[in-house]
Amino acid sequence: MSEAKKATVKALQAALAAEHAVVYGYGVVGGRISEERRSEARAAYAAHRARRDALAREVSDRGAEPVSASAAYALPFPVPDSAAAVQLAAELEDRVAGVYSDLVRAAEGELRGTAAEALRETAVRAVRWRGGSVAFPGLAERAGTAAPSEAPTA
């Protein structure tokens, strides 16, 4: 396997690991979110599950074993109520955006377009949860969020 293909598989695995963590995190969000935003949380959960499944297929199609989900993930802060759940949802979206930014850099062709679409979707969801945007979604050094390598930690 060429170095470029190895880098792509590595970035795919990182995105898959991040999606596993985000799916877990949205389980926490769903348990604490207010009724008014519950459908938004469900839609985000479903979108991330679909992305996770597509990434697992992409990794398999490239001859690699998809990374498995952990049994649990450490949350970045306690989530005792709906306000914290909204904050967690925004944080999850920011973290996974960083990983998709890395995948955009590593990928080519159709996969690059798919990664860019995923980055856009996560940035839009983060804005909806946060109520405001950051200048460079997916770039932790510009946005002041966690580094992409920390993304699997929900």
From CA 104, how far away is CA 131, in angstroms rounded? 25
pLDDT in tens, 4-44: 899 999 999 999 999 999 999 999 999 999 999 999 999 99
pLDDT in tens, 89-133: 999 999 999 999 999 999 999 999 999 999 999 999 999 999 876
- Least Cα distance to 19 among 66, 64, 78, 60 occurs for 66
From CA 91, how far away is CA 154, in angstroms rounded? 9
